[in-house]
Amino acid sequence: MAAISHVFTLALVARMLSESEDRLWELTDQMEPEDGVLWVHDIDERETMAFTHFGIETLKELIADQPRPES
């Protein structure tokens, strides 16, 4: 398995998949680090969720399995 060289933030993945950040946040409850989700920690205790390529594929599968909530 190749080493992870970069990840994509939650905001970027939401834009890439045409989904809301809130919806992706809810779907990540079903994911573990081995599914390609991780946290990036920054200064001033800021942090953001990020995804590997595999994590994005996992999200796509979760989206396909979950109907969109009614507006």
pLDDT, tens only, 1-11? 678 899 999 99
pLDDT in tens, 30-48: 999 999 999 999 999 999 9
Q: In the beta sheet, which residues pair with residue 51? A: 8, 37
As a whole number, the mean pLDDT across the chain is 92
Model pTM?
0.86
**Cβ distance 47 to 40 under 8 Å?**
yes
pLDDT of residue 3: 84
Strand 8-9 to 47-51 pairing: antiparallel
**Cβ distance 69 to 57 under 8 Å?**
no
* Rounded Cα gap, residues 21 and 18, in angstroms: 9
**Cβ distance 52 to 36 under 8 Å?**
yes
| Average pLDDT of the segment spanning 46-57 | 96
